[in-house]
Amino acid sequence: MKGKIFSKIEGGKYKGKKLSLPPLSTTRSTKSIVKNSFFDTVQFEITDKIFFEVFAGSGSMGLEAISRGAKFSFFIEKDKEAFKILSKNISLIDSKSSKAYLGDSFSLYEIVLKEIESLKNRAYIYFDPPFDIREGMEGIYEKTFSLIEKTPKNLVQMIVLEHLSKIDIPDRIGEFEKIKSRKFGKTTLSYFQGIKEER
């Protein structure tokens, strides 16, 4: 056990279950205060919905969603070591209600959207891209915005973007508009919903 780092499921039927975390050099986990704020916001709305964690890491958000009543969670993670940990965490929580992809989020995103469409259910899509201060991650937010732009709003219940607070996030991205932001020091959650058609 020495040297291993863990988080835990914070609420729902798997509350208290431990999740392994990848090394900090590989991925950056969502802080408990941020995670709890998000799930306090969506609460019972997430029941029987789909959850899609686009930059999954350990899968802590998508597995928390399952614990709190989501019907199914999708995950994408491109780092092989992180993916091993993600797969282990899924097997500990609920492998029947989860599907993980090993690969680049920007290549696999639309494949997962097609799966969501086949399930005929709206999804919560959670983006937590690696901070752009990390080497090789320059332009990560612009690339993430482009994924949001190509997302059909009929598939989406809500899009949530976890980002550096200093980053200026547009009020509108594609067919989605920002409805609120919550700041937690250096991290902010920005919430987007589909723009309603004008009558």
129-145 average pLDDT score: 72
Per-residue pLDDT, 111 = 97
d(Cα 118, Cα 115) in Å, to the nearest integer?
Answer: 5
In a domain, 163, yes or no: yes
Q: What is the mean pLDDT of the chain?
A: 90
Closest CA to 123 of 131, 133, 113: 113
Q: Poorest-confidence range of 86-90, 108-112, 128-132?
A: 128-132
Q: What is the pLDDT of residues 17-73, one digit of tens each?
A: 999 998 765 555 668 889 999 999 998 899 999 999 999 999 999 999 999 999 999
- String of DSSP letters for 66-98: HHTT-SEEEEEE--HHHHHHHHHHHHHH-GGGE
123-140 average pLDDT score: 75
In a domain, 78, yes or no: yes
Is pLDDT above 60 for 134?
Answer: no
In a domain, 118, yes or no: yes
Domain that holds residue 36: 6-194
In a domain, 72, yes or no: yes
In a domain, 116, yes or no: yes
Is pLDDT above 70 for 194?
Answer: yes
CATH number at residue 167: 3.40.50.150
121-147 average pLDDT score: 81
In a domain, 199, yes or no: no
In a domain, 95, yes or no: yes
Of 37 and 5, more confident: 37
Dihedrals φ, ψ of 8, to 5°? -145, 160
Q: Tokens standing for 168?
A: 């200026």
Per-residue pLDDT, 7 = 87
125-141 average pLDDT score: 73
Please give the tally of structural domains in the chain: 1
In a domain, 103, yes or no: yes
